[in-house]
Structure 1
Amino acid sequence: MKTVRQAPAWSLRQLLYFVTVAETGTITGAAEQLVISPSAVAAAVEKLEHAFGVQLCVRRKAHGITLTAAGQDLLRRSRALLEEAEELAEVGGGAGESLGGNLTVGCYHTLGPTCLPPLLSAFAADHPRVRTTFTEADQDSLQDGLERGELDVAVLYDMQLRDGVASLELFRTRPHVLLPAGHPLAGDPEVRLRDLAAEPFVLLDSPPSSQDTFSVFRQVGIEPQVRFRAGGLETVRALVGRGLGWSLLVQRPWSDRTYEGREVVVREIADGVPEVRVLLAWSRRTPLTRAARAFARAAPTAFTPSPILSQQSTTTEENR
């Protein structure tokens, strides 16, 4: 017997109003953005609550709204549904020949300078109608964004991934030692971490990079003498360039000069340190949009071969 489908007791417009309320944090803010009356926005949210039989948000005078657990779940689903509706409208309007819609990409902040430019430029060349935005953040914030539906995909390390995150490998890279140009070991093609253990260390203090750094030291059986902790890659490089310590990093900019113009020296680690995988990740709970699927298909080709490993290999050959 054929199933008879029924129209839902809610509309896409109501979902749009609800998403706007969640993103602005207030009924008034949503009304201003949508250019409608606050009463119309409030009525749409109330009708959604009645249709789903749950409370979606808690309204506090002078403090805006706070989503309930049900509201958070509906927000994630609504964003995906509205994205699909926009894509369907484009197809219906005759724009199906080229991909459109929105795409929001997250990226671990130290990976941004080396990963985002090739990814975004290649994707924009193939899909110029997709409106792509990006945000840089730490690993936990990126995974939060994926779970909440705020990010379509994210570029991050294969470290401390949650069960709800799916991924594919973009490339692999290896940690390296960063030394001041005048360091006694700067002329060696490879460096043993034990030979640096007693010297001041500059830590990139940004999880999960910091945890991975300490795990490398545990594998080798040494404890670094942490002198400075920096939250940014270029700050670490600048401190090393000043001769204030050495560091262990994964990301390597093409230039071996700091922002001050001081030279830093990259050397391979002789202790057999394992490679680190860089991934493109997305939430298992939210279906990928057409734009996100296209981005996932194209992303690995932007790093074939890995620009970081290729550069490291070339530098190693030149030093032999």
Structure 2
Amino acid sequence: MPLRFTLRQLEYFVAAADCGSIAAASQKLNVSSPSISTAISQLERELGMPLFVRQRAQGLKMTEAGRTLAAQALRVLDEATEMTRLAGAVSSTVQGPLRLGCLVSFAQIVVSGLRRSFEDEYPAVRTSQVEMTQAEIFAALRRAEIDMALTYDLNLPPDLEFHGVKNLPPYVFLAPEHPLADRESLTVHDLATYPMVLLDLPISSEYFQSFFTREGLRPVISERTRDMAVMRSLVANGYGYSIANFRPLNDVSPDGKPLKFVPLVGELRYLAMGVLTVPGATSSSTNAAFVEHCRAKLNE
């Protein structure tokens, strides 16, 4: 059965019972007498019984039901105060479970290391992760299935909060024997006539292709993959170049072949990597600590 009264109504009821009059309770709580009187009347109506006998000359006299319920109401208010205290203690301590969502492209490069270093710094925290697309991240945050997510600042909805931690310039991935591999930097005009291996993830693929359309060009897409590791292997084996905003920590593909990474320059929008949350989530010390940990570790 849903609650039919509020803690505020209980507070006014207990104060009136303790003081013996509406006027005295009004002074104690610094609340107007009509507000207290209305709250008590609403509480009596919801409970279906009188709590006081109103005596014009003598103030309030509690009924037998009122005395019984006043004692219980005081315990409820004490428990509510304790719950508030505990919530404050938990929110100010870096502890407990932390459920992380992450884009697939981040999962194999940075997330495991961030989790490990965060748990080493805060041993009372236990993290878990799940790899998702951008749309899946939005839905999971709204359903409270995850606490926060590592993602890009692409197509973000207004009901979620993005906390940027690192700017990510684009790189061109190339096999060492590719004709462009020895350049110090490249533009989309340099790339336009060569086969491209597109990292074909939702939203990300549109972002990479926009580099070309902004210049009136179309990339020659020869291969598509949703897996960062597969993309690197295809590039290393000569199936084309690719573009990504996160440079791997080593220059070897998953099948052991070498790769080269050349900065892509021009009028390009850099992506921001960050932590996405529901509004107000960083009021929790654990969540706030993770955001700051990401900033520190990813910008070392």
Q: Do they superpose with TM above 0.5? A: yes
Q: CA deviation at 1:222?
A: 1.1
Number of the residue aligned with 2:148: 153
In structure 2, the CA distance between the partners of 1:89 and 1:219, relative to structure 1 (3 Å rule), is closer
Q: CA deviation at 1:281?
A: 0.9
Q: Give the Cα–Cα distance (whole angstroms) in 1 for the partners of residues 92 and 193 of structure 2.
A: 62
In structure 2, the CA distance between the partners of 1:298 and 1:281, relative to structure 1 (3 Å rule), is same
- Partner AA of 1:4 in structure 2: Q
Q: Give the Cα–Cα distance (whole angstroms) in 2 for the partners of residues 300 and 5 of structure 1.
A: 46
The answer on whether the counterparts of 1:98 and 1:129 sit within 8 Å (CA) in structure 2 is: no
Q: Does residue 3 of the first structure (1) align with residue 8 of the second (2)?
A: yes
RMSD, matched Cα = 2.7
Number of the residue aligned with 1:40: none
Q: Give the Cα–Cα distance (whole angstroms) in 1 for the partners of residues 253 and 277 of structure 2.
A: 34
Number of the residue aligned with 2:274: 279
List, as ranges, runs of 4+ consecutive aligned residues in structure 1 with deviation greater than 6 Å: none
**Corresponding residue to 2:162 among 154, 167, 183:** 167
The answer on whether the counterparts of 1:147 and 1:285 sit within 8 Å (CA) in structure 2 is: no
**Corresponding residue SS for 1:261:** coil
Q: CA deviation at 1:121?
A: 2.4
TM-score by length of 1: 0.63
Q: CA deviation at 1:271?
A: 2.5
Q: CA deviation at 1:287?
A: 7.6
**Corresponding residue SS for 1:220:** coil
The answer on whether the counterparts of 1:153 and 1:280 sit within 8 Å (CA) in structure 2 is: yes
Number of the residue aligned with 1:68: none
Q: CA deviation at 1:237?
A: 0.9
**Corresponding residue to 1:108 among 90, 103, 106:** 103
In structure 2, the CA distance between the partners of 1:294 and 1:270, relative to structure 1 (3 Å rule), is closer
The answer on whether the counterparts of 2:152 and 2:273 sit within 8 Å (CA) in structure 1 is: yes
Q: Does residue 235 of the first structure (1) align with residue 233 of the second (2)?
A: no
Number of the residue aligned with 2:128: 133
The answer on whether the counterparts of 2:166 and 2:273 sit within 8 Å (CA) in structure 1 is: yes
Q: Give the Cα–Cα distance (whole angstroms) in 2 for the partners of residues 198 and 96 of structure 1.
A: 55
TM-score by length of 2: 0.67
Residue pairs, 1:32-111, within 5 angstroms = 88=86, 99-111=94-106
**Corresponding residue SS for 1:143:** helix
Q: CA deviation at 1:286?
A: 6.3
- Partner AA of 2:203 in structure 1: P
Q: Give the Cα–Cα distance (whole angstroms) in 2 for the partners of residues 142 and 226 of structure 1.
A: 28
Number of the residue aligned with 2:250: 255
The answer on whether the counterparts of 2:282 and 2:288 sit within 8 Å (CA) in structure 1 is: no
Q: Give the Cα–Cα distance (whole angstroms) in 1 for the partners of residues 161 and 201 of structure 2.
A: 23
Deviations 1:161-209 (A, max 9, x none): 0111102111001111111110111111112322221221110000121
- Partner AA of 2:191 in structure 1: L
Q: CA deviation at 1:123?
A: 1.7
Q: Give the Cα–Cα distance (whole angstroms) in 1 for the partners of residues 196 and 8 of structure 2.
A: 67
Q: Give the Cα–Cα distance (whole angstroms) in 1 for the partners of residues 294 and 247 of structure 2.
A: 20
Deviations 1:8-33 (A, max 9, x none): xxxxxxxxxxxxxxxxxxxxxxxxxx
Q: Give the Cα–Cα distance (whole angstroms) in 1 for the partners of residues 231 and 214 of structure 2.
A: 23
Identity of aligned residues (%): 26
Q: CA deviation at 1:240?
A: 0.8
In structure 2, the CA distance between the partners of 1:183 and 1:286, relative to structure 1 (3 Å rule), is closer
Q: CA deviation at 1:301?
A: 1.6
Deviations 1:57-97 (A, max 9, x none): xxxxxxxxxxxxxxxxxxxxxxxxxxxx7x93895xxx999
- Number of paired residues? 223
